[in-house]
Chains A and B, each alone.
Chain A
């Protein structure tokens, strides 16, 4: 019903009588199977045979959420049998394979992701923490494959964060040491994804989520934290220089500026003891760098937006700055209006807010 990206073709589709008959046969076969499954479930025939019919039905229509519920009802009944024909592990592996194959075909179907999540949670209840740890760890491979096919897949990124949290929860703690999270390797993964494609905002976003954990786990001292911030700023400046028209990059740049601000919530701070003098230093450095890019890219609206954002941040910590003038700000705003007429209303509001 919600079709995406399927071409309509020219004019109304006229089916031949042959095609119509074929479709009617398909409908009959599909409805017969759906009715059969419904009847068996109403009769509470929670058997391996019905599970097989459900597999067939889900392959034809993985969006049919009630059938996934039926599947879970049968699985619960099968593992609770007195003399089970299949072990929980065998049943689970079968469903992991089914959902993997279906996800390759339907990577955005909520119900498939949801079933997989349920399987692993049930797996822990049935087989214990050690087995669950292995199962959750294995999920990262599936997610890597899914993100290789579509590096922005919303479901895959969300599931990734959940899987990581489960692995971390189940990681046996080191002798006397603190529990190690996956923050470092996940951070590395975002670096890899960004280097493959700078536009991958999903990776930039996840990076921003990991940073506070990394610094906490490294027990980073104030200097290390400053070095870390410096490295992130260099990375994003290089990215800006590569493609100043990509908004993913500018949003990450905004993130880095937001954690410099005195109004940043404490748990998100990268450097906890920044002085206003240091803040000004960062702002001036960024401004200078971005103004240099301007020389080659005078028609990139993101540059003017960033300059105005920096100017505002600068004024928050130092009213009497000498690195830019109100006249500069006026000129940047005029450029925004010129280059970005779609958002004219926004620039007019900004003009009023900054009293330009």
Chain B
């Protein structure tokens, strides 16, 4: 997921209350996230800090409040997570891992800060690229998360995403990665974490995203996968991740971005989904939850808002589905 600049599209004046996005509330919710140091939850989620920053920053950009968080502060924090190896950890003192390296690169790209990276860490871009490239399995083409070896198509997508943002795709064997993704395809058109694993919307996003970056969407069984993705929409308008599971706002992103990449967004009811996402807002304190009435968090906030952006909700910036 990255941002593209889109033209502003009017406001929300005259919108019925159930169709309103509480932009100001969400902005202050995201601004408040780093001030909650007197809550245990803040400390228990330190391992997600860099991801959280990326999610919050992306949500603010989509909401048209790109500068609601201080740019210098963000940049200082991101670079404080960078290891000598070229990998990023979740926070200072946390080990390097693909998941945070991707977030680190995505934040740098969002802030257009690769120049500052080079100033402060000479050769930084190459270093990060090499860290990522070093995690590719030369035999299968897939990627590990770190030196401890867990492999997953999430890491493969993350690697291609970050490398393409840095213009360093040539550091890895893209063709081999593509073949690995292809070997994860199932009869239903979907993809799993590894060959033979059950199709899952999150993994579908990572695999279709990786193939989009590699320019190989021709390998996707687009009719079958489009059909499977469209069946994720339930009667209440929300989307689930797998057959016969409950709806969750985050699938608004995983499912819809995949459908957008396949040109099949019109295979679900966008209006019903918009209403479902909006019902998941906390109208008082801001933020979005997995389902109406639940506790909000920044993860569901960004994926709900990104979903609304794909649905062309008025006033939101346009999101790139990859």
Contact = CB atoms under 8 A, between A and B. Distances in A.
Contacts of B258: none
Contacts of B264: 346
Which of A34, A38, A161 has its CB near the most chain B CB atoms (within 10 A)?
A161
Contacts of A345: 266-268
Contacts of A343: 230-231, 233, 267-269
A346 B193 contact: no
Given A247-B244, A251-B243, A344-B269, A114 B186 contact: no
Given A114-B148, A158-B194, A201-B198, A63 B295 contact: no
Contact of A8 (B227, B266, B289): B289
Contacts of B230: 343, 346
B48 interface: yes
Interface residues of A, number: 61
B48 to A, nearest CB: 5
Interface stretch (B39-47, B58-66, B133-141, B168-176): B39-47
Contact of B289 (A3, A60, A199): A3
Contacts of A7: 293-295
Contact of A65 (B47, B245, B266, B293): B47
Nearest to A268: B187
Contacts of A341: 269
B253 to A, nearest CB: 13
A248 B244 contact: yes
B224 to A, nearest CB: 8
Contacts of B149: 118, 121
Contacts of A11: 284
Interface in B253-301: 264, 266-269, 272, 282, 284-285, 289-291, 293-300
A255 B150 contact: no
Contact of A3 (B199, B228, B244, B295): B295
Contact of A2 (B90, B148, B186, B299): B299
B197 A12 contact: no
A276 interface: no
A254 B244 contact: no
Interface string B24-47: 000000000000001111011111
A259 B188 CA distance: 12
Interface string A181-202: 0000000000000000001111
Interface in A36-79: 38, 60-61, 63-66, 69, 72
B196 interface: yes
Given A61-B44, A66-B93, A342-B272, A248 B295 contact: no
Contacts of A200: 244
Given A114-B150, A341-B269, A12 B285 contact: yes
Contacts of B237: 342
A1 B48 contact: yes
Interface string B207-247: 00000000000000000001110110101010000111100
Contact of B242 (A26, A201, A246, A268): A201
Nearest to A67: B47
A26 B37 CA distance: 12
B307 interface: no
A310 B292 CA distance: 39
A6 interface: yes
Interface string A235-267: 000000000001110010011001100000000
Interface in A289-321: none
A338 interface: no
B52 interface: yes
A258 B297 contact: no
A6 B47 contact: no
A1 B298 contact: yes
Contact of A66 (B39, B94, B227, B299): B94
B188 A12 contact: no
20 contacts: A1-B45, A2-B300, A3-B295, A5-B291, A6-B294, A7-B294, A8-B282, A63-B44, A63-B47, A65-B95, A154-B198, A154-B242, A158-B194, A199-B243, A201-B243, A202-B242, A247-B231, A251-B188, A254-B188, A343-B267
Given A66-B47, A254-B187, 11 more contacts: A2-B250, A2-B297, A5-B294, A12-B285, A27-B40, A152-B242, A158-B194, A205-B198, A251-B188, A342-B235, A346-B227
Interface of B: 38-41, 43-48, 52, 89-90, 93-95, 97, 146, 148-150, 186-188, 192-194, 196-200, 226-228, 230-231, 233, 235, 237, 242-245, 248, 250, 264, 266-269, 272, 282, 284-285, 289-291, 293-300
> What are the nearest 5 A-B pairs in CB distance?
A345-B266, A346-B267, A1-B45, A2-B299, A342-B269
Interface of A: 1-8, 11-12, 20, 23-24, 26-27, 30-31, 34, 38, 60-61, 63-66, 69, 72, 110, 114, 117-118, 121, 152, 154, 157-158, 161, 199-202, 205-206, 208-209, 246-248, 251, 254-255, 258-259, 268, 341-346, 349
